[in-house]
Structure 1
Amino acid sequence: MSSNYFLNALNNSLPTSVEVNWRQETGSTNDDLKAAARRNAFRHPVLLTVERQTAGRGTHGRGWQTAELAMIFSLGLPLRDGLLSAPPGMLSIAAAMSIARSASMASNEKVLVKWPNDVWTAGGKAGGILIETVGDANGVRSIVIGVGLNLSIAPGGVTTAGWPIRAISTRVSMSDPTMRGEFLGLIVSDLINTFMAIEKSHDFSEIIDKWPLYDAFYGKSVAWRTLDKPDVPLEGINKGIDALGRLILQGRRGEKSELSGELVSLLGNSHRE
């Protein structure tokens, strides 16, 4: 079976401490891992990956559009002190930067991030990340990082904000289960290392400093729509992020605003009047 080749390659690409689970189909990998963490908090990394997800979702409860071929997985980790004290926005950004970095290693085009956590390549959205936390009956908490990456798509798709939907263009065929397993192992290993480093250092200065290298819109004029005033876009120059992971937007008169990723969405050109 092709799943055997995929799982062998995946397991060989990961630290032995990672518990690997695979299913043909599920509703939501995040929901499945959250249910497991409610029963018993994670003591080590737990990975769940599926071929097909029927009830995936993004931020603000948006549905996740299934690609022709996608990498769908959730990674569960213990939520220890270093992660507990981290601003939630910074964890999403750290995860997105990690995935952009590791995916770029296997891609024909550089993979970037649309703040705060959309995976971006070739001028469009190629994936998304949803981070959630959950506690068990003893109050011990876990973090679940849900990821969906497009590997092959039908042309012409656009997001609700008017951006093209893209796929990550890899140097090897992702229809090969062995290559797909190694690719996922590369991404998950980098995610684990990234969150272990945060847990130990409690320091986000390196992430803030390196953010401009990954931000697809750094230094550019952008328009954001807020959830409370969707008909009045905020426009300005993207000036990076602050210590809480908020986007710094500089207006025409030099005034600055800090935007929360939970409250805004970036408008595509077709939505900017």
Structure 2
Amino acid sequence: MTGSNADTRFINASAVADSLASQGWSIVVSPVEVTASTNTDLINYFENTRARTMILRVAHHQTAGRGTHGRVWNDASESLLFSLGLPSLPAAKMAPVPVLVGFAIAEEFQKLNVPVLVKWPNDLWLASGKMGGILCEMAAGPSIVIGVGINLDLHQQPRCKADMGAAAALSSIHPLEDAVESRTFWLLRAVSAILKSVGEYMRKPSLPDWSRWKKFDFLVGKRISVDNNAGQVETGLYSGIDPQGALCLRDEKGARRRFISGTVRILEAS
């Protein structure tokens, strides 16, 4: 895996490493100007090295960025693209992590007056559209790779994939006066929030208490359809997230349905 502080100018990697170290996190920071996918980089890293060190892979651009279910993640004109590799984690506790990461970022960004919400299972939304996404994948170890992509600024005429809908960018709330400074700042806030939230969860015997994050849940009070991407589509009223991180809804007959993965579409508010 290539990339060093010397060959990247899109982020202040030294400041990132120093700040995380001051918080007690020992993490290898690996920036690269262009790569196919930061998630793929770390999956290969853990497979080839069997490393037991946390690592943060940050890219300016991706040529083959991925979303869930094999969808393509297109770079905006300015993006925050990173993957956080956490080794030696119990596989039995992995299921709720993607949702947990989303709520951790939303909670942190709302402290900075960015009204971002989480659309289950792994999308970050502003009122104007999708601002970012999360992709968590298992790697050798067992390890988990947490990939995050956030639009900092959009092209003047962005082209959005059908699954993405309307795109939104952080610059609509906080104009980017200095892209390097902004990318470094938001990266640190996101990574620090993820490490704190996931770390707390991994240390506790219990599953997350999702009620804590209800105010950050984009789907509350909405009628939705859920496609499990295997031919099953259900419609009904969103009824929250269960302890394992699965989406629950009440269908038209009042029966409770549970989805561990899928694509959600908004029908109307209740």
TM-score relative to the length of structure 2: 0.86
Residue in 1 aligned with 2:144? 143
Deviations 1:140-188 (A, max 9, x none): 3211111111111135644423721111244352643123212211111
Q: Secondary structure at the match of 2:75?
A: coil
Name the residue aligned to 2:3: none
One-letter amino acid matched to 1:94: L
Which shifted more, 49-58 or 126-135? 126-135
**What amino acid is aligned across from residue 143 of structure 2 in structure 1?**
S
2:134 to 121, 125, 129: 129
Task: Tell me whether 1:91 sits opposite 2:74 in the alignment.
Answer: no
Change (3 A) 1:202 1:160: farther
Q: Please say if residues 52 and 88 of structure 2, whose CA atoms lie closer than 8 Å, have aligned partners that are also in contact.
A: no
Structure 1 residue 29 corresponds to structure 2 residue 41: no
Cα RMSD over matched residues?
A: 2.4
CA contact (8 A) 1:248 1:259 kept: yes
Does structure 1 residue 61 correspond to structure 2 residue 80? Answer: no
Structure 1: give runs of 5+ residues left out of the alignment: none
Q: Determine the C-alpha separation between the residues in 1 that align with 2:204 and 2:104.
A: 16
Q: Distance in 2 between matches of 1:184 and 1:174?
A: 16
What percent identity do the matched residue pairs reach?
30
Q: Secondary structure at the match of 2:220?
A: coil
> Aligned partners of 2:70 and 2:109: how far apart in 1?
25
1:177 to 175, 180, 198: 180
Q: Which stretches of structure 1, 4 residues or more, deviate above 6 A after TM superposition?
A: none
Task: Tell me if the contact between 2:10 and 2:60 (Cα under 8 Å) persists in the aligned partners.
Answer: no
Residue 215 of structure 1, aligned match among 190, 199, 217: 217
SS at match of 1:13: helix
Offset of residue 94 of structure 1: 0.7
The separation in 1 between residues aligned to 2:51 and 2:124, in whole angstroms, is 26
1:120 aligned residue = 125
Does 2:17 align with 1:11? Answer: yes
Q: Which residue of 1 aligns with 2:238?
A: 238
Check the 8 A contact 1:42/1:77 in 2, yes or no: no
Q: Match of 1:104?
A: 110
Bigger relative contact order, structure 1 or 2 (CA pairs below 8 A, ≥6 apart): 1
Structure 1 residue 252: Cα displacement: 3.0
Give 1:177's aligned amino acid: V
Task: Using the TM superposition, give the Cα deviation of residue 80 of structure 1 relative to its aligned residue in structure 2, in angstroms.
Answer: 2.5
Following the alignment from structure 1 to structure 2, what is the Cα–Cα distance between the partners of residues 121 and 114? 10
Tell me the amino acid that sits aligned with residue 168 of structure 2: R
Q: Report the AA paired with residue 227 of structure 2.
A: R
Any unmatched runs of 5+ in structure 2? 1-5
Q: What residue number does 1:252 align with?
A: 252
Q: Which amino acid aligns with 2:15?
A: A
